[in-house]
Chains A and B, each alone.
Chain A
Amino acid sequence: MKFARVLPATTVYAHCDLPCGVYDPAQARIEATSVHAIMKKMEANQDPDFRTRAIIIKEERAELVKRHLWVLWTDYFKPEHLEKHSNLHDLFWRATKQAGECKHHHEAAEGQKLLDLIEEIAEIFNATKKA
């Protein structure tokens, strides 16, 4: 509208998050896939140097899984989502604990449990996007 151009204008924001506002459980899933893949490689390789490196990377990736899940949990999900998906807190608690378990263990089954929990979170995430 032309007359709007002569008025002093500034940009106002409806969101207080950092501008990107991009949330996706894929971030956690990619790091968890790394954890799982490292576990599988450790089962097949007994070389101590390789295993040392694998453990270091597994620790880092498992920590990143926690980080990405926490961001989703604390920044993306809102009270409205919790009302519809009452298991949300428990699910995040179990998933972040499982990321910790993946540091303690190197059996691929532990990594698979982590991936399965992230998948459950992703299903809820997708449901909130459709709503």
Chain B
Amino acid sequence: MAPTYNPGATLLGLRWFRPRSGQVVVAAHGGRLLVKRLVKLDEQGAWLEGDNPGRSTDSRHFGAISPKELQARIIARLD
């Protein structure tokens, strides 16, 4: 998620939130918890992309995910 958040960053998230495009979210997908930006949320599902498109594996590869997989919204970096 560079340049927004670098590897090793401590992030603060809210488990209760209303997903909106533009938010950085935590998603449980493919057996892992991912941190990505929610680019679009519509009837197709939630479309996630990394902020570093050249290096990110995201919805461009695995497609839109179920909104149920969204776990939290990142609201701050703590370190």
Contacts and interface: CB of A to CB of B under 8 A. Distances in A.
Chains A and B form a bound pair: yes
Interface of A: 1, 4, 7, 9-17, 78-81, 128, 131
Q: Is the interface of B mostly helix, strand, loop or mixed?
A: loop
A4 B10 contact: yes
A14 B79 contact: no
Nearest to A10: B33
| Contact-size category for B | 20 to 34
Interface of B: 1-2, 5, 7, 10-12, 26, 29-30, 32-36, 50, 53-58, 60-62, 78-79
A80 B7 contact: no
Given A4-B12, A12-B11, A14-B1, A80 B54 contact: yes
With most chain A CB atoms within 10 A of its CB, the pick from B12, B26, B35, B57 is B57
